[in-house]
Amino acid sequence: MIYGKTIYGNKVKIKKNTICYESEKGHKNFYYPSENKLIIKEEYYADVIPWISGGSRIALRIPKKILTPLNIGKNTKLNISPPPNTTIIVWVDKCLLN
């Protein structure tokens, strides 16, 4: 099943109900994917963030208003609480973008 595809430049199409992961600060204050899962509630054309610290995941900029938590972690409330018109960085498995 294909969840997203690069369409042009640094944008990818992310399908509804794609699982993604919150960001957390790690070594040298870089951001890394956490184990806290979110679901993207609607189809969205996301900006790809060119970070290399995600291993098998790629960083995307997504509006908070289209995210729903699947499990609650220490940053979940901060990351998805209002204002909803802001964006956060989430991580999606690279294999879902082929």
Which of 87, 74, 96, 85 lies closest to 24, judged by CA? 74
Q: How far is CA 84 from CA 36, 42, 66, 79, in A?
A: 19, 15, 9, 10
- Above 50 in pLDDT, residue 3? no
Percentage of the chain lying above the pLDDT 90 cut: 31
Note if the pTM is more than 0.85: no
Q: Compute the distance between CA of residue 5 and CA of residue 25 in angstroms, rounded to an integer.
A: 27
Q: Where are the domains of the chain?
A: 4-97
